[in-house]
Structures are given as C-alpha cells and as structure tokens.
Amino acid sequence: MNEQEIREIVQQVLTRSGPVPMDSTIPVEASARHVHLTAQAVEALFGPGATLEPVRELSQPGEFLSDRRVRILTPKGELSGVAVLGPVRSAIQAELSLTDARALGIQVPVNLSGDLTGAADVYLMGTAGLLEAKGCAIAARAHIHMTQGDALRLGARHGQVVKVRVHSRRPVVFEQVPVRVSDKFALAMHIDFDEANACCLEPGCRGEIIL
C-alpha cells in the first residue's frame, strides 16, 4: 500500500466521522413551562386594561416574554412564577413538562402547541384575580419550526414526522418529531426541559434531521 492510498483511506475515515456540516443541522432550544393568555384572561388576572408588555424577544418572530407571571394551581400542587408569553392568543394554553404535571397531580396529553384535545384543567392566579382555566394544560410535543427555504434545503415538508439526532454530551435521537413550515417561522427545534435534561442540552447544541 503506497502513501497515496493511505491518504485516501484516512480522508474517507475523516469524512465519515467528522462533524455534521452546520447547514444541514438545526438549532435546538429548550422551552420552559409557560402560559399563553387571551386578552380577556389578561384583564381577569391582572386588572382592567392590563396588557402584555415585551421584556425579551423570543426566537420565533413576533413572540416575546412578557412582563407578567402567574401561579398555576390545582388541588394537589402549584407552580409559581410561570412566564406568560405574548402576544395574546385566541385560547388559554399552559405548556408544561410531564414533571410539572406530576407536581400538580394532573394528567396531561403530549400535544402540539395549539392542540388542546384532552387538555387538563388548572387554575391561574395573577396579581388581581383567580381564573379557572378548563382544558388548557398540555405537555408540548417536540417539534421543528422552519421556513419554506429551510424545508427545501433540508429536504423536509410541512406535516412530515422525522427523527432528530441531537449532538450533545449525551446524544439522543428524538422520534416522531413533526415539521411545521411557514415563512413566519425561524429555524429551530423546540423541546421541553425534561427532554433537554435527557440529552444534556447546552447553548449551541444542534440537531440533525434523519429522514
């Protein structure tokens, strides 16, 4: 075996085992427990005329962390200081991890955000009132946001369900991850804190779609 053949073999090994190109991966973000409110719920919890004021923009265009916090209550537990995200929506939604749900003593479905099928009942408490929020609590299913351009580049389509390998200190493959495509989105995979802990998610971690 001559020197050129050895170099070719080494190059093949490096190509197979080297890092995945950045343009074929997606950023992975952990989404902490939070609540989406209607305009009516904002006033019920924080007083007449109350609104949601932005504190920090989130990765998805138009979404923001607001200046409001609530307590989530059930007969068996509570979570305090839960972030309220804006802008207001057409329905109340509490997105929890399964660990959060266990602490509250409730059973929640694992649904895509916006799907309240089978959602659990909780109470929300703000600075001005208590609100019974029926059918609002879910565990958000891991999902990917992307634009049409991202979808073309990554070979994905809206509604497709894929596997995603998260490259971290504890690599994990997430299965049954829906792809959501809209030019109103920014490229990111969202997982909850239970999932983030499972894969040792750290800032800068990225995922590779496995079609």
DSSP state of 6: H
The pLDDT value given to residue 145: 98
Q: What average pLDDT does the segment 181-210 reach?
A: 96
pLDDT for residue 4 is more than 80: no
Contact 77, 108 (CB under 8 A): no
* Positive or negative torsion for Cα 182, 184, 186, 192: negative
pLDDT recorded at residue 22: 56
Strand partners, 23: none
pLDDT tier for residue 24 given thresholds of 50, 70 and 90: confident
| 11 has a pLDDT exceeding 60 | no
Whether the CB-CB separation of 207 and 158 falls below 8 Å is answered with no
pLDDT higher than threshold 80 for residue 3 = no
Q: Output the pLDDT for position 7.
A: 45
DSSP letter assigned to residue 89: -
**How far, in Å, CA of 78 to CA of 208, rounded?**
36
Asked if the model's pLDDT at residue 21 lies above 80, the reply is no
Helix (H) / strand (E) element for 32: namely none
Tell me what pLDDT residue 46 has: 98
* Rounded Cα gap, residues 203 and 30, in angstroms: 10
For the residues 84-108, what does the mean pLDDT come to? 98
The pLDDT tens digits for 74-93 are 999 999 999 999 999 999 99
> For residue 117, with 0-12 CB atoms within 10 Å meaning exposed, 13-18 middle and 19 or more buried, which class applies?
exposed
Q: Is residue 120 helix, strand or coil?
A: strand
For 135-195, the DSSP string reads: EEEEEEPPEEEE-HHHHHHHT--TT-EEEEEEESSS-EEEEEEEEEE-TT--SEEEEEHHH
Residue 5, pLDDT above cutoff 90: no
Say what the alpha-carbon torsion angle 145, 29, 191, 37 is, to the nearest 10 degrees.
-80
CA–CA dist 101, 58 (Å, integer): 24
Report pTM. Answer: 0.86
**130-158 pLDDT, tens digit each:** 999 999 999 999 999 999 999 999 999 99
Mean pLDDT of 10-25: 53
